[in-house]
């Protein structure tokens, strides 16, 4: 066994990436505080060929040195838009036929392993603030809430870890 070199990884060019078919998912970042978390989510979105990211409220936007530290250039490959209010993003996505899904611990959330979207279904995944979670204004837009099972004492993942877990789950289900 040996580690692959960068030349063996078969990375696509930026132009090829931009024109390639994407997973029909838009990530909505609802008032994230940490620019490192924003950058990490860009990088994960690039890895899973996510359609777009909506940055909302206090969530920082590129270009910014602190975002780039963890994004490693993914802010150039993943399409993104900024919305001062998360309701603007969710209203637009709802009108475009996206199913609005919060990744949040809620009284009616379903466990992630039971979340099986229909083939070709367009999803908007909301990831909330690192301390307070999704904002109250998002709740009226929700079609569903999905919760990642947890068994430790903290009952929370870092938002970037949550994004990676949920996107991997979806990647396994989309063709």
Burial class, 127, CB count within 10 angstroms (exposed 0-12 / middle 13-18 / buried 19+)? buried
Percent of the chain with pLDDT over 70: 99
**With contact defined as beta carbons under 8 Å apart, do 90 and 55 qualify?**
no
Q: What would the CATH number be for the domain defined by 21-147+157-173?
A: 3.40.1280.10
Residue 63: CB atoms within 10 A of its CB come to 9
Average pLDDT over all residues of the chain: 96
What are the residue boundaries of the structural domains of the chain, listed by start?
Answer: 21-147+157-173
List pLDDT tens digits, range 109-132: 999 999 999 988 999 999 999 999
Q: Return the pLDDT at 175.
A: 66
List pLDDT tens digits, range 8-55: 998 899 999 999 999 999 999 999 999 999 999 999 999 999 999 999
- pTM attached to this predicted model: 0.96
Provide the CA 29 distance to its chain's centre, in angstroms.
7
């Amino acid at each position: 066994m040996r580690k692959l070199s960068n030349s063996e990884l078969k990375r696509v060019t930026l132009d090829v990436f931009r024109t390639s078919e994407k997973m029909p998912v838009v990530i909505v970042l609802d008032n994230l505080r940490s620019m490192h978390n924003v950058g990490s989510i860009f990088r994960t979105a690039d890895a899973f060929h996510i359609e777009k990211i909506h940055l909302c409220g206090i969530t920082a936007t590129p270009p910014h040195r602190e975002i780039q530290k963890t994004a490693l250039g993914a802010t150039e490959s993943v399409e993104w838009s900024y919305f001062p209010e998360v309701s603007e993003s969710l209203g637009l996505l709802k009108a475009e036929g996206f199913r609005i899904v919060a990744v949040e611990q809620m009284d009616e959330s379903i466990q992630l392993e039971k979340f099986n979207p229909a083939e070709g279904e367009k999803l908007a995944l909301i990831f909330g603030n690192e301390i307070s979670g999704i904002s109250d204004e998002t709740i009226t837009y929700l079609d569903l809430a999905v919760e990642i099972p947890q068994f430790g004492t903290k009952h929370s993942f870092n938002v970037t870890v949550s994004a990676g877990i949920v996107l991997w789950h979806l990647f396994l289900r989309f063709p």
